[in-house]
Amino acid sequence: MNIDILCYLLRKVRYIGSEGATFFELGFHKEQAYYHNGSFMFGYHKVGTSNTMFTCHLDTVENSRVGTSKDIYLDPATNHIFANKQVLGADDGAGVALLCHMIENKVPGHYFFFAGEECGGVGSNYLADNFETLFPSLKLDRAIAFDRKGTRDVIVSQFGGTCCSDEFALALCYALGTDYQFANGSFTDTANLVDVIPECTNVSVGYYNEHSKNEYLDLAYLKKLATRVCKIDWEALPTVRKCEPEFIFEEQYLTSEEAFWYQLTEPYLL
């Protein structure tokens, strides 16, 4: 894996609003950048033919906006990278570096580098709302975010809803290695995509204590993951989950009063 790219990302202070600049500094072109009202929403890169999306986010939660760079350190005893009393930004610099590694190794896929994940998924929300307009011929079976803490998690539910089937998650756990387990996540960009892509998940990239000055990255794990993701046959993973929102009637077609009556299953005293 290209450690220079990882170190560049971790050294740079990358708060929301700086995503476009980071995307271009990684070597991507302006034709690959998508904007809304003048703001960078996401960067997109395609490799080969596939029905798989890989995602990461370019923004970080920073506890200091002073300066544009920070010192990072490697503890040789633990193989952990950390920043001195500052947010490291491995959430999600690790994911960005991993996607760059996969592109370099020509793993077929549709690569999305999102903006504003830490503010509710600004870029992924824009993509979900405009998916058919922006990518009319793109049919995706699965979306894998690399934006999860720890070293063992495959996310099966996030933002209060199921995001992938057990069959998909089990096959992915097996493909990644025997130590992986199902987990419930809070939120990442793929949570915004569950209505347009059947199987959505988030996989551990090795950071801990994110959003705090105690954040660190397990570099040994990230290197191992980088080797593994280049060998997986992503297209062979099963697609079982359907995209339809579970409560489409209540949410989209019924008024709240109508939804109240619709939900009644027992005789109701009037």
> Where on the chain is the footprint of Zn ion (CB under 5 A)?
91-92, 147
User: Residue 140 has which token pair?
Assistant: 């995706």
Measured from the CB atom, the residue of 19 and 92 that comes closer to Zn ion is 92
Provide, rounded to whole angstroms, the least separation between the CB of residue 137 and Zn ion.
30
Q: For the CA atoms of the chain, what is the radius of gyration?
A: 19
Provide, rounded to whole angstroms, the least separation between the CB of residue 73 and Zn ion.
21
Give the separation between CA 146 and CA 125, rounded to whole angstroms: 17
Instruction: Tell which residue, 125, 128, 180, 116, has the closest CA to residue 152.
Output: 180
Measured from the CB atom, the residue of 118 and 141 that comes closer to Zn ion is 118
Give the separation between CA 15 and CA 21, rounded to whole angstroms: 11
Task: Provide the β-strand partners of residue 109.
Answer: 47
Measured from the CB atom, the residue of 147 and 199 that comes closer to Zn ion is 147
User: Residue 11 has which token pair?
Assistant: 């050294």
Provide, rounded to whole angstroms, the least separation between the CB of residue 145 and Zn ion.
8
| Buried/exposed 75-94: b ≥16 CB within 10 Å, e otherwise | eeeeebbbbeebbbbbbbbb
Provide, rounded to whole angstroms, the least separation between the CB of residue 23 and Zn ion.
16
Provide, rounded to whole angstroms, the least separation between the CB of residue 212 and Zn ion.
13
Tell me whether the omega of the peptide bond preceding residue 92 falls within 30 degrees of 0, making it cis. yes
Measured from the CB atom, the residue of 19 and 91 that comes closer to Zn ion is 91
Half-sphere exposure in the Cβ direction for 156 (13 Å, CA): 16
Within 8 A by CB and 6+ apart from 266, the residues are none
Q: Assess contact for 175 and 138: CB atoms under 8 A.
A: no
User: Residue 259 has which token pair?
Assistant: 């939804």
Provide, rounded to whole angstroms, the least separation between the CB of residue 127 and Zn ion.
16
User: Residue 119 has which token pair?
Assistant: 């503010």
Provide, rounded to whole angstroms, the least separation between the CB of residue 249 and Zn ion.
33
The phi, psi pair for 226, rounded to 5°, reads -60, -40
Measured from the CB atom, the residue of 59 and 141 that comes closer to Zn ion is 59
Measured from the CB atom, the residue of 22 and 51 that comes closer to Zn ion is 22
User: Residue 187 has which token pair?
Assistant: 């939120």
Measured from the CB atom, the residue of 51 and 208 that comes closer to Zn ion is 208
The phi, psi pair for 182, rounded to 5°, reads -70, 145
